[in-house]
Structure 1
């Protein structure tokens, strides 16, 4: 709805005024909203009015609005009242009440008709202005009862709400109206007065008067530094140095120090002289690689016959010393396709990267060997490491005393302390396979290899019953082993 004074001859209107002040006489700010229950249709004037009327309080706290009379003839619907809502700054809960505006009163003031007594229901203040003798006019409910309405005030309010009509067709969108009035601030920092002035303390700030003042805060000059006038007074110049006054010059003795030319020997400071490096009775020196030079190492003890150890060959462990004379050493041809296991003890955990055998030579040129595999099995006959086909790495020439041949494992094996078996499998035809260093234990013992186990269940040597193997099995059992007397020499490193 808008102001209906644009159609004064067609639609009867009533001007509503009011003034809102605080108890100390200061103008309040805010708005008063007048809302009809539905759109108002005036068929005779071909006009439809809709929407609330929001009247803003001016600087004097005054409000004014011109509204259609609630009893205008020919108006559809009829028999209704305005809902008035007051939204005032500083008053958290505004009043809401009903208001009748009969056409016979062209001008009314809210102060004459708005409710002031909390005990009065909010549907009663629909009175007209005071009469000439100051008498109260009839309320909307009383007017309805006088016209024949029967029921309570609540029944009468409910009767004002009509049935919902059928939804009409959607009309064309009209032009966008002007922006509504901005919302009204209800309070600032907890204050709700009409004119609010905040102090520095209320906004958590330091007053401007505190800058550079006693008990306040320091300021910065144009150079970005605190001016000298705001700095504390100096504590004064040095009065004395080492109990001396005047122009003081201190020497080494004055501060408990030695003169610059004073020297000490290595012995006096508990150190070793540089001349003692590498000298008899001195200390060993390190070369550029961080190791002690050979000239400073003790002379190695000469190796004795039969006294060789695996470390002398860069190995970790072996089956036995090749020069051992307690058995009958010699060489034996390996049988093509048969797997040989040679027991070796490992007395310290180590990472093993290779296995080694001792090759004596061939009866015939190496023309029939097709494959050679070497590996390591644990005490439970489970394979823990192996080489790829190493046939190309087996020596073919016969040297005096033969030669050791080492074969690199496919990947290093981290072995703990225990007993292990070196696996030897050479595939070839007839006597084309090499002769390997071996000991024939049957020369002094009638016990065969497959039964020569120690108390821990470790065998000195084993060999497979099969002679047609082409690779190292993942696992073996004692049932796969045959009787034998020959123990080949083998090692790990």
Structure 2
């Protein structure tokens, strides 16, 4: 059903193509901001108008003009939503459709420059542009001049109107009898009666007229020579400053003099100081002060000496992050549980008791094994220890061991030495002594490890595959399960490299270098200080 006849409309057309000329597929949706009421036509319009693109990518629709007279609300605009298939960012923008432009193309309205606003108003042609379209030739100034026509012919003089009656003639018509002079005299009324005498003045008598230019009274006084005192003008007498019941004075510095202050508030002389009278001179002892040159100690002022920070029986210091440094914390040990220290070690790679059914495996010659340690406080070590089985000791120098920091730099290295037989600690069980099962220590230079993460390295540099068997944490995966971390803190606790010779251990190592592997069974190792 068409819109009611009389509502001004605008025909909107447009066509949308891809850059290579193919028609876009989709639709255009026009929405008014709310229900639009046309009271004159008894109709309310609402809801979106959806116009699909045809096979040529074109559309045409007729919509009510946004400035149709009498609409409620007034001054509204259409929201235009482009919904096209294959277009990454469809646009939504606002347009005006004034009735003065009954036909518009969407290409003239839709914004294309990101720097332009998304609200587009449609401007109708000016009167000059309409004139040019109708055939006028000339500039705007010439067109404006053409609007001024020639002087018209003067019109015919109108008929003289009848003169009206004056006031005297109106009076005659109303019944006045007499000539004009008598009528004028009748306009002057009789003199009124004299008014009563006004009330007397404040002095009890009627005041006499004063001479021109002379003050009649001041503040209620009407004497011939008026003299005012301070009270008459609400002022303080000039005798009041410094007088009893008067006002205080100010000295040259703008302060009240001490003599005018009440007793006990700082005015006048001091009565006594600390029980002394007269010209009082106080010594350091009179006020509880130290003598000149006296040196105060921290204890004298109830404080701790700076030397107590971080010292034994002192107080803990804080680091740059407002935390107690780990070096000042007690050795981390759970209550009533087994720790490396409880069994004579300073640290270990893992608790052997937690390893499920550990078995022995031969070291591979010329392989350099790395096992991770987490050192939480400064620790002194002079032995690298491996949990071994079946080794009776040899007389040749065929083993090397060392310690590396997390950054891969070497801390300390042993010489190529022969080992003490496994399981020979005094008091060991007979089966451990005879079967050579237990701790196998390798001596290094005594070294202090500061808090951080380290690798203990061990290698059989000379010998055969059956020379040394070690107990291990079984690992059959391509990557050891010990190497488990979150991004940002990678530290391989178990890995190895091949090709170690009888020469010194590498100066630096890297878990990310080519040739670093982690598919072996992990040795059980410890650090000790004996």
TM-score calculated relative to the size of structure 2: 0.31
